[in-house]
Amino acid sequence: SSTVPACAYSPDPFTSSTSSDEENSDDDDIVEPIDEQEIYDLIAPITDPEHPLTLGSLSVVNLPDIHLTPLFPPSSSSTSPPITVLTVYITPTITHCSLATVIGLGVRVRLEQALPSRFRVDVRIKEGTHSTAEQVNKQLGDKERVAAALENGTLMGVLRKMLKGCEGT
Amino acid sequence: MTTSSTAGPVSITLLSSLAEPSLHHTWLTAAHPTQPLVATCSSDKCVRVYSLKTSSHLSTINGGHKRSIRTCAWKPGLKGENVIATGSFDATVGIWRRWDNDLSLRRSDVKMSEEDFTGANGNGNTDEDDDDEWRFAIVLEGHESEVKSVSWSAGGNLLATCSRDKSVWIWEEMGDDDYETVAVLQEHEGDVKCVSWHPEELLLASSSYDDDIRLWREDVDDWGCVSILRGHESTVWAVEWEGVKSTAQGTSSTENPGIRLASCSDDQTIRIWRKIPKEKGPPQSKLSIIRSGSIEEEWVEDSQLPRAHVRSIYSIGWSKNTGRIVSTGGDGKIVVYIEDQGSWSVLAENDGAHGVSEINHVCWAHMGDNREVIVSTAEDGSVKVWAI
């Protein structure tokens, strides 16, 4: 009950209960191409924690700032799994926005819940758009902190509200 | 055993997957110091104990923590009883006890032939009975936020714990289930990710989100930082000591002057640090009045392992038997490195060891017959046993 609404069409990597390794990797082997526009459509309806406007309408998330790259170069060994690195640069509305971390966390959580586990989601502050970008980036990149945040009831309440607009996507 | 230049590629071969795994985000698997047992801790607030010989689930610790169990460690040096310390995101540390005599693998079974898998007889029935047999002994409270790592000293009387609250605590067992705080070390400037006791000396290493590693020793009756190891460019996820070579076996102690520590980081490097031995013997500062500087030690970055990972490196294990290092991380690779005359090379790699899952932890473990295996723990809950 502490999870964000299941607005996902694919398993949530944090809570999904895959019945076996084999089944899991079979699922993941079916690599359906997902493009930047689809990623944008997943995160644009997230609402700002302070007002009822979406991150898309506020231009916090922008299509040109979404990048998909394979983790292993195509030339690497045939046993390398098809892991995709997804980097999303967010643009806070003001350079000292204290909620940048929460917004970034919302984007990361939304993507991790919506995308198959072969995606590695990196959410970062777009260069030059925030006074403490480095600190925010480090927090958002720390999987242990993110996992602990997802067990924090107060924070989950905020995230649930932000992701409400994603329902039925 | 450790031939320096292997002609063909060495492979990391899957021996088994432990059953039944947690279906949740799983953090770490701790190897028993002497028996072929491992304990896996998970975000479902349980620790599952498995037999490496049968790859089957033996018992479960549950009901003690309110949030993810991030870490656990077996207390060393015990006979007849097993003790596990657990560290949780709920900011507490639990101590758990269980009599050894009802584990399906006893000392006598360890000597049985490798092919004999009957050691776990009645395994299907005993599971449920065993469930209740981990007894909660005590909860250690003091940390203000998530506990990230716990480590028992070689003698087993000291327990180090660390947390997102930036502190390292050292607890001493004064009697049965009576623990006293002997130090609260607050010099790190970020989450302390890992603590690890040296295998012989009372020397503690801690690594942090502040990109530093700190070494701690007791001086007179206060614990203090004796060295800061700087070089990593991001969070240092884990630290692991080199095993102590027994001089009784005729190996020259001059081969490896100075004790060594390995560290792995979000900066995708693994570094080896070495103590520069002092000219004179170790300082006996017991009578010294001048404290400042007297306990400082000089440590240098000895070498870096070849770069083999393309995401954060979460975990490393340094084999006490072979001196090999194993690493894993966000790219889902397991890599084994070998040292030859001070220079390290990659001995073997396995891409996608748990499919597309991130791998959160890796360690060396004993099968009980001198055979050493690698145990890897993935984000998706799976735990796999590998031979090299």
In whole numbers, what is the pLDDT of chain B averaged over residues?
Answer: 87
pLDDT at B49: 96
3-state secondary structure of B385: strand
A127 touches chain B (CB under 8 A): no
What is the DSSP annotation of B158-173? EEEEEETTS-EEEEEE
CA–CA gap between residue B96 and residue B137 (Å, rounded): 5
> Is the model's pLDDT at B115 over the cut of 70?
no
- The region of weakest confidence among A7-21, B29-43, B176-190, B212-226 is A7-21
Share of chain B above pLDDT 70, in %: 82
Does residue B209 form part of some domain?
Answer: yes
> Is the model's pLDDT at B44 over the cut of 80?
yes
Does residue B211 form part of some domain?
Answer: yes
A143 touches chain B (CB under 8 A): yes
Classify the phi-psi angles of B365: left when phi > 0, otherwise alpha if psi is within -120 to 50, otherwise beta. beta
Task: Locate B3 and state its tokens.
Answer: 């031939």
pLDDT at A118: 93
Do B362 and B327 form a contact (C-beta atoms < 8 A)? yes
> Is the model's pLDDT at B312 over the cut of 50?
yes
> Is the model's pLDDT at A14 over the cut of 90?
no
pLDDT in tens, B75-88: 999 988 999 999 99
Does residue B4 form part of some domain?
Answer: no
pLDDT band at B284 (very low <50, low <70, confident <90, very high): low
Tell how strand B135-140 and strand B147-152 pair up. Answer: unpaired
Whether B358 sits inside 8 A of A120 (CB atoms) is yes
Mean pLDDT of B241-266: 72
> Is the model's pLDDT at B1 over the cut of 80?
no
Task: Locate B254 and state its tokens.
Answer: 């001059």
Tell how strand B93-99 and strand B81-88 pair up. Answer: antiparallel
pLDDT in tens, A103-155: 999 999 999 999 999 999 999 999 888 888 999 999 999 999 999 999 999 99
Do B219 and B264 form a contact (C-beta atoms < 8 A)? no
Question: How many contacts does A have with B, using Cβ atoms within 8 A?
Answer: 88
Whether A144 sits inside 8 A of B380 (CB atoms) is no
Mean pLDDT of B263-270: 98
Does residue B322 form part of some domain?
Answer: yes
CA–CA gap between residue B347 and residue B337 (Å, rounded): 5
> Is the model's pLDDT at B254 over the cut of 50?
no
B178 touches chain A (CB under 8 A): no
- Domain, as residue range, for B93: 13-387
Mean pLDDT of B59-69: 94
CA–CA gap between residue A45 and residue A60 (Å, rounded): 11
Facing A24 at nearest CB: one of B191, B234, B380: B380
CA distances to A144, B38, B337 from B310, in Å: 18, 28, 16
B358 touches chain A (CB under 8 A): yes
- The region of weakest confidence among B49-58, B229-238, B341-350, B366-375 is B366-375
Most confident of A3-17, A76-90, B33-47, B280-294: B33-47
> Is the model's pLDDT at B154 over the cut of 70?
yes
Do B313 and B338 form a contact (C-beta atoms < 8 A)? no
Q: Which of A72, A139, A140, A144 to mutate to test the interface with B (most CBs of B within 10 A)?
A: A144
Do B322 and B2 form a contact (C-beta atoms < 8 A)? yes
Does residue B100 form part of some domain?
Answer: yes
Q: Which has more pLDDT, B283 or B180?
A: B180
- CA dihedral over B351, B357, B359, B364, signed as positive or negative: negative
CA–CA gap between residue B382 and residue B384 (Å, rounded): 7
- For residue B23, list chain A residues with Cβ-Cβ distance below 8 A: 17-18
**How does DSSP classify residue B104?**
S
Q: Which has more pLDDT, A2 or B363?
A: B363
Residue written as tokens 């206060």?
A: B222
Does residue B381 form part of some domain?
Answer: yes
Nearest CA in chain B to A19: B23
In 3D, which of B306, B223, B309, B299 has the Cα closest to residue B266?
B309
Q: Mapped to the 3 state alphabet, what secondary structure does B324-373 carry? A: CEEEEECCCCEEEEEEECCEEEEEEEECCCCCCCCEEEEEEEECCCCCEE
Does residue B6 form part of some domain?
Answer: no
- For residue A24, list chain B residues with Cβ-Cβ distance below 8 A: 355, 357, 380
- The region of weakest confidence among B49-58, B277-286, B347-356 is B277-286
Q: Which has more pLDDT, A85 or A29?
A: A85
Q: Which has more pLDDT, A95 or A102?
A: A102
CA distances to B21, B22, B350, B387 from B13, in Å: 20, 22, 9, 5
Does residue B2 form part of some domain?
Answer: no
pLDDT band at B40 (very low <50, low <70, confident <90, very high): very high
Report how many domains make up chain B: 1
Do B357 and B346 form a contact (C-beta atoms < 8 A)? no
Do B85 and B152 form a contact (C-beta atoms < 8 A)? yes
- The region of weakest confidence among B63-72, B289-298, B350-359 is B289-298
Domain harbouring B182, CATH code = 2.130.10.10
Share of chain A above pLDDT 70, in %: 77
pLDDT at B131: 43
pLDDT in tens, B157-206: 999 999 999 999 999 999 888 999 999 999 999 999 999 999 999 999 99
Whether B67 sits inside 8 A of A142 (CB atoms) is no
For residue A147, list its beta bridge partners.
Answer: none
pLDDT at B8: 53
pLDDT at B111: 39
pLDDT in tens, A50-61: 888 999 999 999
Q: Which has more pLDDT, B133 or A45?
A: A45
Residue written as tokens 């870490």?
A: B71
CA distances to A10, A48, A161, B272, B386 from A14, in Å: 12, 23, 19, 33, 25
- For residue A141, list chain B residues with Cβ-Cβ distance below 8 A: 266, 312
Q: How close does chain B come to A116, measured CA to CA in Å?
A: 9
**How does DSSP classify residue B56?**
B
Q: How close does chain A come to B280, measured CA to CA in Å?
A: 43
> Is the model's pLDDT at B109 over the cut of 60?
no
pLDDT at A95: 78
A81 touches chain B (CB under 8 A): yes
A152 touches chain B (CB under 8 A): no
Q: At a CB cut-off of 8 Å and minimum separation 6, what does B244 contact?
A: B199, B200, B259
Q: Which has more pLDDT, A30 or B165?
A: B165
Q: What ipTM score was computed for the predicted complex, to two decimals?
A: 0.83
pLDDT at A81: 81
Identity (one letter) of the amino acid at B26?
T
Identity (one letter) of the amino acid at A88?
V
E strand or H helix at B388:
none
- The region of weakest confidence among B197-206, B290-299, B331-340, B352-361 is B290-299
pLDDT at A8: 36
pLDDT at A33: 81
Task: Locate B214 and state its tokens.
Answer: 């700190």
Task: Locate B216 and state its tokens.
Answer: 């701690």
